[in-house]
Amino acid sequence: MFIQIQEPDTLSGPDKSGAAIGIDLGTTHTVVAFVENGIPKTLDLGNGPLLPSVVTYGSGDQTIKFSSFKRHMEEPSLKIKGLKTPVELSGKILQHAKETAEKILGFPVHQAVITVPAYFDDTARQATKDAAHLAGLKVLRLINEPTAAALSYGLDHGVEGIYAIYDLGGGTFDISLLKMTKGVFQVLATAGDTHLGGDDIDQAIVEYWQKGGDSSASLNAARLAKENLTLTPDQLDPLTKPFIDRTLAICQQALSDANLNVKDIKGVVLVGGSTRLRAVRQAVEAFFESTPLTNLDPDQVVALGAALQAHALTQGGDTLLLDVTPLSLGIETMGGLVEKIIPRNTPIPAVISQEFTTYQPGQTAIKIHVIQGDRELVTDCRSLAEFILEGIPPLPAGVARIEVTFSLDADGLLTVKAQEKTTEIYQTVTVKPSYGLTLEDLETMLQQSFLCGEEDLQKRLAIESQLRPVRNL
């Protein structure tokens, strides 16, 4: 039996007040889809289903590609090229997609399910919702791109097992491992590279031509040659191999993170236009020892899944989506140590509580310092927020009981609540930091947590040996 997650602020029953679309806000293209008579279809946004993720200002000399500001969605106040913030630029693209969809469908559209990369943190997800608000769209749900791809292939209809979602787009690469059990999607692990995609292959083709004496070679010509297969396999395969090998190394990392091996993978879904390349498909098939699913257009598969989820949320549906948090979440404890409350790759939504106490006699207030990261020391992690819980009864050290609850909703937004148990006083904070991680920082944090794991553990043990055995806050 399938069940449906309801957002905290939504009605208990299906919302049939208006239609909802699915939007894949991609790095190079944006795709919109709608479910009609139970079948998801992409919409022609003017020149086919792929709307270039480009915003032009003024007389046309100020053109900004989404790839240049999607990386900055975690920094919503940053002005790209001194013109607009990432939220404003994203809002323009979403507004155009909304208005075009309304013209095609013939009725107003006020709701949408929008897809985001699995590695987007709290700030980037909130920024995406803010952009949708600017465009006049209510976000029914943000879902991770690999989850949407799995939905479009119908993996929610009783096909149980672990699936790999291999997503090689124009500017980024992502691999996600999804487990399907009794109608429940769970993301077991994600990994990726924000500077690896089809654009790199295009650049390699240009350099290949230039070495052959063609000084007029351009990226656009390279892209057309790649897509139209005008290069022979003997010419193209050596150019693509270094990039494909990098994607497979990342796939292996994801398998290791999930404590899985290739034999555990039941199927592979290909996402992104670059997966049309013969060399990519052959390499993926050889690595996973399984023929990838290629029935659907890899450029449209994410939007189709988003449309299915939008239809389910407005017309009634029965699929439970469980995504994961890409980095651990916790608080600072005595000695500058990190106490993880929601570990990395925990399925969301999640609500986890843990009790702490005071470390000074008569202490009447404590500082809650919310941390993101997988290192052992606060100095090596990212600070999300701080707040003070006051009004604690002046008790002996170690007597007061403070319950700290982390609530991570389906959109990946974090609310932290600290409550003193006897007086029931509490303080809460919803994490929407002004400046978030860049995608490069996220990758670095994960890599450093692996590389420095043993060293960090020794540092933690040394600090703990100097502290009281009772865990203090």
**Which residues are known catalytic residues?**
24, 84, 145, 167
Spatial distance between the Cα atoms of 114 and 185, rounded to a whole number of angstroms: 18
Q: Name the DSSP class of 328.
A: -
Report the candidate in 273, 210, 205 with the shortest Cα–Cα distance to residue 239: 205
251 contact partners, CB below 8 Å, separation of at least 6 = 164, 166, 175, 191, 287, 288
Backbone angles phi, psi at 362, to 5 degrees: 75, 10
Asked if residues 254 and 118 have their Cβ atoms less than 8 Å apart, the reply is no
Asked if residues 120 and 412 have their Cβ atoms less than 8 Å apart, the reply is yes
Place of tokens 């190394």: 249
Backbone angles phi, psi at 78, to 5 degrees: -70, 135
* Tokens found for residue 244: 């494909």
Phi-psi group of 48: left, alpha or beta (phi > 0 → left; psi -120 to 50 → alpha; rest → beta): left
Backbone angles phi, psi at 71, to 5 degrees: -65, -15
User: Roughly how many angstroms between the first and final C-alpha of the chain, as a whole number?
Assistant: 43
Q: How many CB atoms lie within 10 A of CB 17?
A: 9
Spatial distance between the Cα atoms of 436 and 440, rounded to a whole number of angstroms: 11
Spatial distance between the Cα atoms of 328 and 374, rounded to a whole number of angstroms: 6
Spatial distance between the Cα atoms of 227 and 331, rounded to a whole number of angstroms: 49
* Tokens found for residue 239: 């150019």
Q: By three-state DSSP, how is residue 280 classified?
A: helix
Spatial distance between the Cα atoms of 272 and 301, rounded to a whole number of angstroms: 8
* Helix or strand run (H / E) with residue 313: helix 301-315
Beta bridge partners of 186: 179, 322
Spatial distance between the Cα atoms of 96 and 81, rounded to a whole number of angstroms: 21
